[in-house]
């Protein structure tokens, strides 16, 4: 039985063999120096309503870097869509980096009176659950913060994309503290629970590619992804975030690779933002650089020379492990 690995392919936005090779080499050099980049994507979900009512539409902004489980013989076909460069990882390596499989959710049919909307309905409830936890975390932050709170204060709720769904409530400070203490008793702290439920939403993806009318196309991609930041505990009792927002040096490199893409404005819950502002860098793990965790590198013929130059600046032990570059067609 043929071995299988996880592959991260790029550049998806390459437009010709020459341009793709040049861009792919720039991306590979950035991965060598900084690691992998989690970029944002907005997924729009629709929950059908009964009768003639309009469906509930809820967009979800996800930050992720993707891996596909393949055998080496499947790389050639995969490359035609996702890019002719690829990093090959052992399965355990991707797991240790925090990757998890995507939860594929079937979209509903046009008829709301059947069971096809169960998936999106459950996802809508998950999003509402996160909204409730987010409000509780915000309320807890207000009550436990350094600024004194009046005995009675106003608390505003709602969604940035739903101006008609806003509300304002008068809250009793002491009753709210007691309620939060009761509901949050012996469970994950509110701020961590808020971050965790939001991170969970990054792992849902549609089953079908409806834009191109291809049923189960996404489901068949066997995608895993790193889609949330996480902290690791050190032996001295401290902890550290594994991912980080791009530094100024990293920003400059990413903008040089694809300025149009990274400066693109996208919609978030707090308004419009630059794509690069919503991205995260995964540099590696436990002091080991991401490039050192790669098993092999797949490149097209046109990029073999520049790839060897990119890898040659690495420590000799790392270069020796990675120099087994191979053409995607072999």
> Is 114 within a domain?
no
Q: Summarize pLDDT for 286-308 with one digit per residue, the tens.
A: 889 999 999 999 998 889 889 98
> Is 252 within a domain?
yes
- Does the structure show a pLDDT above 70 at 160? no
- Does the structure show a pLDDT above 80 at 113? no
- Does the structure show a pLDDT above 60 at 174? yes
| Domain boundary, last residue among 197, 220, 249 | 197
Number of domains the chain contains: 2
Shared domain for 227 and 304, answered yes or no, is yes
Percentage of residues in the chain with pLDDT exceeding 90? 60
Shared domain for 80 and 219, answered yes or no, is yes
Give the pLDDT of residue 330: 47
- Does the structure show a pLDDT above 90 at 59? no
**Who wins on pLDDT, 324 or 142?**
142
- Does the structure show a pLDDT above 80 at 205? yes
**Owning domain of residue 149:** 121-197
The band of 276, judged by pLDDT with boundaries at 50, 70 and 90, is very high
> Is 193 within a domain?
yes
Shared domain for 142 and 246, answered yes or no, is no
> Is 82 within a domain?
yes
The band of 12, judged by pLDDT with boundaries at 50, 70 and 90, is confident
| CA–CA distance, 233 with 191 (Å, rounded to integer) | 18
Give the pLDDT of residue 110: 65
Contacts for 31 with CB less than 8 Å, ≥ 6 apart: 87, 290, 291
- Does the structure show a pLDDT above 50 at 65? yes
Shared domain for 320 and 287, answered yes or no, is yes
| CA–CA distance, 188 with 281 (Å, rounded to integer) | 26
- Averaged over 210-238, what is the pLDDT? 87
Identify how many contiguous H helices and E strands the chain contains and give both numbers: 9, 19
Mean pLDDT of the chain: 89
Shared domain for 80 and 179, answered yes or no, is no
- Averaged over 55-82, what is the pLDDT? 90
> Is 145 within a domain?
yes
Shared domain for 281 and 220, answered yes or no, is yes
- Averaged over 77-94, what is the pLDDT? 93
Of 5, 9, 131, nearest to 65 by C-alpha is 9
> Is 115 within a domain?
no
- Averaged over 155-173, what is the pLDDT? 82
Give the pLDDT of residue 271: 77
| Domain boundary, last residue among 130, 165, 197 | 197
- Does the structure show a pLDDT above 60 at 146? yes
- Averaged over 189-216, what is the pLDDT? 91
- Does the structure show a pLDDT above 90 at 115? no
- Averaged over 266-276, what is the pLDDT? 85
- Does the structure show a pLDDT above 90 at 317? no
- Does the structure show a pLDDT above 60 at 261? yes
> Is 116 within a domain?
no
Shared domain for 52 and 13, answered yes or no, is yes
Q: Decide the pairing of beta strands 296-299 and 265-268.
A: unpaired
- Does the structure show a pLDDT above 50 at 176? yes
Give the pLDDT of residue 256: 96
> Is 207 within a domain?
no
Of 321, 307, 309, 292, nearest to 36 by C-alpha is 292
Give the pLDDT of residue 192: 93
Shared domain for 181 and 230, answered yes or no, is no
- Does the structure show a pLDDT above 70 at 323? no
- Does the structure show a pLDDT above 60 at 196? yes
The band of 315, judged by pLDDT with boundaries at 50, 70 and 90, is confident
Give the pLDDT of residue 109: 75
Shared domain for 12 and 61, answered yes or no, is yes
Shared domain for 154 and 53, answered yes or no, is no
Contact 120, 108 (CB under 8 A): yes
Give the pLDDT of residue 318: 76
| Domain boundary, last residue among 140, 170, 197 | 197
The band of 329, judged by pLDDT with boundaries at 50, 70 and 90, is very low
Give the pLDDT of residue 111: 62
Shared domain for 94 and 152, answered yes or no, is no
Shared domain for 70 and 130, answered yes or no, is no
């Amino acid at each position: 039985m043929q071995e299988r690995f996880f592959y991260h392919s790029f550049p998806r936005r390459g437009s010709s063999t020459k341009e793709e090779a040049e861009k792919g080499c720039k991306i590979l050099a950035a991965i060598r120096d900084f690691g992998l980049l989690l970029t944002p994507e907005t997924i729009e979900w629709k929950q059908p309503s009964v009768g003639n009512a309009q469906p509930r539409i809820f967009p979800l902004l996800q930050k992720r870097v993707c891996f596909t489980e393949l055998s080496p013989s499947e790389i050639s076909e995969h490359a035609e869509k996702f890019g002719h460069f690829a990093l090959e990882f052992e399965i355990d390596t991707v797991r240790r980096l925090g990757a998890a499989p995507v939860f594929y959710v079937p979209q509903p049919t046009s008829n709301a009176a059947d069971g096809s909307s169960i998936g999106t309905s459950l996802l809508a409830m998950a999003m509402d659950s996160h909204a409730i936890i987010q409000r509780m975390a915000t309320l807890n932050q207000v009550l436990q913060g350094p600024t004194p709170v009046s005995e009675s204060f106003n608390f505003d709720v709602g969604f940035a994309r739903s101006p008609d769904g806003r509300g304002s409530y008068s809250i009793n400070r002491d009753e709210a503290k007691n309620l939060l203490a009761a509901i949050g008793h012996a469970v994950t702290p509110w701020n961590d629970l808020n971050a965790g439920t939001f991170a969970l939403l990054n792992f849902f993806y549609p089953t079908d590619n409806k834009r191109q009318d291809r049923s189960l196309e996404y489901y068949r991609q066997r995608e895993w992804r790193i889609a949330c930041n996480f902290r690791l505990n050190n032996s001295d009792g401290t902890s550290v975030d594994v991912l980080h927002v791009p530094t100024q040096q990293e920003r400059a490199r990413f903008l040089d690779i694809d300025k149009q893409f990274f400066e693109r404005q996208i919609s978030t819950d707090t308004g419009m933002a630059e794509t690069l502002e919503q991205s995260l860098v995964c540099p590696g793990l436990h002091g080991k650089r991401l490039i050192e965790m790669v098993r092999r590198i797949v490149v097209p013929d046109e990029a073999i020379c520049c790839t060897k130059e990119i890898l040659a600046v690495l420590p000799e032990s790392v270069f020796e492990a990675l120099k087994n570059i191979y053409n995607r067609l072999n």
